[in-house]
Amino acid sequence: MNKALSYLRRSLVPVLAVVSAGVLLTACLKDKDYDNTPIPAAGLMTFNLAPDQSNLLVRLSGNLLTQQPLGYTNYSGVYQNIYVGDRQIEAFNYNAGKTLTSSSYKFEDGKYYSLFVTGVDSAYRNIVAVDDFGKLDSTSSTGKAYVRYINAITDTVNASTVTIAAGGNNIVNESAAYGKVNEFTEATAGNVVVTVKNNNGVDATRTISLEANKVYTVLLLGKPGATDAAKQVQIKFVANGLLTDDNK
């Protein structure tokens, strides 16, 4: 049975990264002559996870992905339709006009991706993850959700231990180097406890509530030892969307 991902309306919840919004990937970007011939397209969601960057813009092959700069912990809120193929990705500081990252990635037709801009203190990187919703089972009758994490805590030396516990059992319990994005893991809907620790003073825990049929990304964020509360190690999350059967 094929699956589809439908998106949720944006929610301006101040303590969380806002919930995803948008439309289904349609692969219907039009050419410059405005005909109705579909051309290959992918979907891309963009995140600013760099603690010292409050005005971040991202270009894809020279074209801006967002019209307004992204503040730290902000994201595009949608999977945007993009052209496929080898694309150059650049993040830059809007105020200074300074390029922070430059990399390339080959995007494929019909796939969804997340772009995480991470780093601090002039050491930044682009991390692209494939959001492979096609591998996830329908959860409509089982009360299940799916969750993954990205370790964007800016410690490039010390790996962190990440645990996600649901129903008293660890569904995730592993070592995570800086920049790791794990696979989506099935979880029973309801409260899960997310913990991240390492031997460099990282120690954060948060309980989040997952809803059945939804897909989530947990954002492990911050700079160890930061005195600014907004830049300290913290845990946020977003809902990427809602799993549905495409024949319903």
* The pLDDT value given to residue 35: 60
Which of 3.40.50.720, 3.40.718.10, 1.20.1260.10, 2.60.40.2890 is the CATH number of 3-245?
Answer: 2.60.40.2890
For β-strands 41-49 and 112-120, DSSP reports them as parallel
Q: How many CB atoms lie within 10 A of CB 169?
A: 10
* The pLDDT value given to residue 66: 85
Q: For 229, phi and psi rounded to 5 degrees?
A: -60, -35
Q: What is the three-class DSSP state of 2?
A: coil
* The pLDDT value given to residue 17: 29
Predicted TM-score (pTM) of the model is: 0.85
> What does the longest C-alpha to C-alpha distance in the chain come to?
58
Domain boundaries, the chain: 3-245
DSSP string, 120-188: ETTEEEEEEEE--GGGSPP-TTTTEEEEEEEE--S-SSS-EEEEEEETTEEEEEEEE-TT-B---EEEE
Q: Which pair of tokens denotes residue 238?
A: 């977003």
pLDDT tens for each residue of 8-54: 323 222 222 223 333 344 444 444 555 667 789 999 999 999 999 99
Q: Which pair of tokens denotes residue 8?
A: 């949720």
pLDDT beneath 50, residues of the chain: 1-31, 139, 247-248
208 - beta bridge partners?
A: 192
